[in-house]
Amino acid sequence: MDTVAAQGFVRLIRRIVGLRAYIAFVLAIVCAASCDDGTEALQVGQFANFATEDPAVALCEGAPARLDRHVRRVHEFIGEPIAESLQVQIRVVAESICPKSACYSPADQTIYVESLDPESYVPSGRLEHELTHALIDRAWGQSIPSLTEGLAESLTSSRWYSIPRPGTPVRAMLDHIATQSRSLGEIEAHFRKVYGEDFGAIEGRYLSGANRCRYQLDICELLGAESVGASWSESFAASCLDPDFYGSRAGGNSWFATQRTLRIDTAGRYRFSAPLPLALGPDGSPSNSRAVLVRCGDCNEQQIRDVKGTSDFALPEGVYTLLLQPARDSLISLRIDYLGGEP
Ligand SMILES: [Zn+2]
């Protein structure tokens, strides 16, 4: 992790969050006072309460524990203690009252989502993203949307994995939000008024170090890394009902994933074997399982590779996460073999 850059970003956010004069500048997402009370309440995890209008929707067994871990890691990252009373309300509603299909509403400190795991999102990724907004809001108060958005994007991998180009989280979010809700000129004028320089200059300092990237809080759990050695294998049943899998289910469909953090102690070529099942979608089209190998580390070390069936990779020493999203319940056998040194 690029700690210096991360801390710089945190300091920047703190400065801005501390400026109460900016409250008027904050995009307050005004939600209705309460949801339709046809919701079904379900206590999940230590820090989140989950309720849904649709009883067919449920979290996978491992999702609550994953969300709890995310809460702890975000607090560790921003350097704030977890409030004893922290409980974030998450509501699955048929029709979102947000500008989009999901949001955190500071007005009633509740997360609203129309679906827990939309297509192209990493299972549980959307919840982690919105949860990050909730945690920042609780810890620091309301902030400028583009910056809190940049922070939430940086700390979670809500979309299917890719390493964003430098500048992506903050600048792209700013531009995107500006065109939706206010003019870019208006936002930049506020920055100039308070800091005596424009957003571009402030952002430029943030971006002037190493390439910016996600901080992999959610994907790289370094403490639990297992050594691959000369050979590593594992077989297990993949199911939303298994506590090892996070994600959700709705009716007969599940979107679930699991991950293994692995340590390569000897650089060289490795063969990954991850035969994952194929499933047919509701329209009969094949829906592929996904497996990716993420190299954990600083921005200049991070790398993401697709693992398709059997794949050989030349890997430097380091910590890696193998992320698996099976298309359906299945038995999975993973295997990694050391093939030798670099050719
Ligand atoms: Zn967001």
| pLDDT above 50 for 90 | yes
Measured CA to CA, the distance from residue 341 to residue 270 in angstroms comes to 9
Q: What's the number of domains the chain is made of?
A: 2
Looking at the structure, tell me whether residues 193 and 269 fall in a common domain.
Answer: no
Q: Which of 154, 173, 207 is the last residue of a domain?
A: 207
163 C-beta neighbours (distance < 10 Å), count = 17
What pLDDT score was predicted for residue 283? 66
Does 155 share its domain with 282? no
Q: Report the pLDDT averaged over residues 35-52.
A: 72
Q: Are residues 203 and 234 in the same domain?
A: no
Among 207, 240, 271, residue at a domain's last position:
207
How far, in Å, from the CA of 173 to the mean position of ligand 1? 9
Give residue 320 CA to ligand 1 midpoint distance, Å: 27
Distance 145 CA to ligand 1 centre (A): 8
Which residues lie near ion ligand 1 (Cβ < 5 Å)?
149, 152
Same domain, 107 and 9: yes
Name the pairing type of β-strands 110-113 and 102-105.
antiparallel
Answer yes or no: is pLDDT of 247 > 90. yes
Boundary residue ending a domain (207, 235, 262): 207
Q: What is the DSSP letter of 168?
A: I
322-336: pLDDT as tens digits: 999 998 888 999 999
Range of 280's domain? 222-340
Residues 238 and 165 both lie in one domain? no
Which residues, in sequence order, are bridge partners of residue 332? 236
Q: Do 81 and 227 fall into the same domain?
A: no
Q: Are residues 171 and 273 in the same domain?
A: no
The answer to whether residue 215 sits within a structural domain is no
Q: What is the DSSP letter of 127?
A: H
Look at residue 206 and tell me whether its pLDDT is greater than 70.
no
Q: Are residues 130 and 245 in the same domain?
A: no
Residue 217 lies in a domain: no
pLDDT at residue 163, rounded to an integer: 58
Same domain, 230 and 195: no
Ligand 1 center from residue 138 Cα (angstroms): 15
Residues 189 and 57 in one domain: yes
Closest CA to 159 of 167, 148, 168: 168
231 Cα to the center of ligand 1, angstroms: 40
Lowest mean pLDDT among 3-17, 166-180, 242-256, 288-302: 3-17
What CATH number did the domain enclosing 48 receive?
A: 1.10.390
